[in-house]
Structure 1
C-alpha cells in the first residue's frame, strides 16, 4: 500500500473514531413562548446524535411558575414507550418521536406556565449538555372582579370601596370610576398586584351614585359595580328656621289665647258691674202708691 492509501486509511479511522466519540447535542429553537389560554402550543426540542435510536430516552419536565421549586414530569419516551403524567393525559404528546423530541400541549391552562426542560439520552453517547429549556407563558383575560364596600354611609362618615381579581395574565390593571352624574376617575390605593381600593372620607349626598371597578389587560376588560347611597340628615340651617317658625307660631297662639281670656274677663266684669248698678238703683227708688199719696195730702 502506497503512501496515498495509508493516508486515506488513517483519515477513515480518524473519522470513525470521532464519530464513535461524538457527544449528543440538544438544541432549543425557541427560548420562550406565549400562548393564549385554551390554544395549542408546540414546545420544540431538537437533538443531534450519531448512534442508533434503539436506546433513545427523552424526558420533559416542568417547573411551574406557581411553584418553581417542585418540578413535575410531563412526558417520557423510553425504549419505544410513551408515558404521560396522569394530570396531562390527552393534552400532551410527542410530534415526531424518535426523530424529534418536540411535544405538543393543547387546551392550555394558566397552570401550564413555567420552565420546560427537555432531557435527551441516547447510549452509548454522552449528552453534552443534553438539556434544553424553554419558558412558556399562558396569557389569560381578567376574571370577573369582586366589588365590595365597607364603612359608615351616614353623612360625614367614611366609606372604602375595594375590588379584587383572581386571574389574568398579564396582571390586570385595576381602575375605579364614578359613573354618574358624570364619569370621574378615582385615585386607587393598590393593596397588592390584584386588588385595589378607594377611600372616600366625609361623605355627603353628592357621594351617592354608581361606581365601577375595571380589571384590564391586553386580552380584555371585566367590570363590577357598586351602587352607593349616602344618608343625609336635614340641614341644620333649615332646622333652625323651622324651629324659629314653630316658636313664633306657638307665641302667636298663646297671645291670641291671652287676648281672648282678657276680653272674656273684662266682658264678665262689665256685665256684673251693670247688673249691680241696676240693683242699686232699684233699692234707692221711692215708690209712690195711691195710699201714700192720699196720706200726704191730709
Structure 2
C-alpha cells in the first residue's frame, strides 16, 4: 500500500511536526455484494516507532447494537467471536501503519458505519484526527421470484401475471417478456416494474406462449417462468354447461328417489290401515251344532251353506213329505254310504233328504198385519201361481213327522243320513 509511505515522505519534506498523529481514510463509502469480500481502507501517519493501539467499532442505527469488531493491543489481534469469527482481520500483518480491515463473506447485517481509532504511546492527536470513519453497504441480489397467474385464460378474457422476490437489497425491479413462440417485450401501463405485475386484456390465442419475469437490482438478478395457454371461449362454456347439467341431473335423480320413497311409504301405510280395518270388522265364523256330529265330515261346503240357509227358513215353510225319488248324495257326489229305504209300518217309505248343494232357495216374506209379521199364515202351495191376495190366508196345520218305533236320530246318523230342512213342495214335486 503506497499511500502510507507517500504521506510520511510528504510530511518530512514539508517539515511537518512528527508529533502529530493522524488517521487517513482511502474511501469513506464502500459497497459490497452479499457473500463477497469488503475492504475498509485505513492507515495512519506518525514518526513514532512504538506499537499502535487499534480499535474498530461497528455503529448501527440502534445504539444498543454497537459491536466491537476488531482490536490490536500489545501485539495481539482480537476479533468478535459471535458475528465476525473467521471473517474479519487486518489486511496487513501487524504492527503496520496500514490498518485496513478485510471482511470476508459479507452479510446484510454487516452494513453500517465502521469507526477505527489509532493511539500511540509517545504521540498524541488533536481534534479527533486519530479516528477514521468508513460506511459499508452490503447489497443482496433478488431471491428467486415466484410467478403466478390470476384469471381464466380463455379468448376474450383478462389475466394478470405477478412476480415477487422475497428478499433483495435494494428492492428489485421486475421486467416481463415473452420468449415463445415469438419474442415480445412489455411496457407501462401493461406492466408495473415495482409491483411485478403484467396485465393482459381481451386475450387471443396468439397471446399463448412462455413468459419470463426478470427480478433485478444492483446486486444481481433472478428469473421465473410461466406458460400461458389461451383456450377458445366455447370450451369454457361447454365445461360450465356440463357442470351445471350434471348438478341439475343429480338434483332431479335425488328428487325422484325421494318422491318414490314417499309414495311407497304412503302406499304401505294405506295398505296397513285397510288391513287393520278389515281385521276389526271381521266376525268370527260360528260352528253349527249339527256340523259337530260324526257324519258332518262328509258334507260339502255348498251343502253346509244350503243347510244353513234351510235352517234359517224352516219356520217359514211347512213340512212336506219327502219325495220318493230322493237319494243320499255325499260331498263328492257319489252314492257311498247309501242305505236301502226303511219300510214304514204305516205303509210309507222313509228316505234321507238330499243335500241342496246346488239349489238356491227363494226368500219368503210373511204377510204383515198392522206392522206385525204373521208367521202362522199359510204359505201358498203354488209359488208360481199368478193368483195373489192382499189379505192373510188361512194356514193348514203343520204336520209333524214322527219316526217309527225303534228308529232314532242316532241310528239315522250312523246310516249316513244328513238332517236337512227342505222347503215346501208343490204337487208336481218342484220347490216352492
Tell me, which stretches of 5 or more residues in structure 2 are unaligned? 1-14, 236-432
Instruction: For residue 29 of structure 1, report the CA deviation from its aligned partner.
Output: 2.2
* Residue 105 of structure 1, aligned match among 100, 103, 106: 103
Structure 1 or 2, whichever has the larger Rg, is: 2
The answer on 1:42 being equivalent to 2:45 is: no
Aligned to 2:87: 91
Q: Please name the residue that 2:313 is paired with.
A: none
Conserved in 1, the CA contact under 8 Å of 2:156 and 2:233? Answer: no
3-state DSSP of counterpart to 1:88: coil
Superposed counterparts of 1:100-139, under 5 Å: 100=97, 101-123=99-121, 125-127=124-126, 128-138=128-138
Which runs of 5 or more residues in structure 1 are unaligned?
Answer: 1-14, 236-298
- Distance in 1 of aligned mates of 2:149 and 2:68: 44
Q: Deviations over 1:86-112 (max 9, x none)?
A: 211111112233323222222333443
Change in Cα spacing, 1:68 to 1:158, as seen in structure 2 (3 Å) is farther
| Residue 72 (1) aligns with residue 67 (2) | yes
Aligned counterparts of 2:166 and 2:132: Cα–Cα separation in 1: 33
Question: Pairwise mapping of residues 1-298 of structure 1 onto structure 2 (< 5 A)?
Answer: 22-49=19-46, 53=50, 56-63=52-59, 70-85=65-80, 86-94=82-90, 95-100=92-97, 101-123=99-121, 125-127=124-126, 128-138=128-138, 141-167=141-167, 172-187=172-187, 188-191=191-194, 195-216=195-216, 221-234=221-234
Higher strand share: 1
> CA separation of 1:111/1:202 partners in 2, compared to 1, >3 Å: closer, same or farther?
same
Aligned counterparts of 1:159 and 1:53: Cα–Cα separation in 2: 73
- 1:263 match: none
Residue 83 of structure 2 aligns to a residue in which SS?
Answer: helix
> For residue 409 of structure 2, what is the aligned residue in structure 1?
none
User: Would you tell me which structure has more helix in proportion to its own residues?
Assistant: 1
Aligned length: 211
The CA deviation at 1:42 is: 3.2
| Counterpart-to-counterpart distance in 2, 1:80 and 1:116 | 22
- SS of the counterpart of 1:119? strand
1:84 to partner: Cα distance: 1.4
Structure number with the bigger relative contact order (C-alpha 8 A, sep ≥ 6) is: 1
CA RMSD across the alignment = 3.4
Deviations 1:56-81 (A, max 9, x none): 432212346xx576543321223444
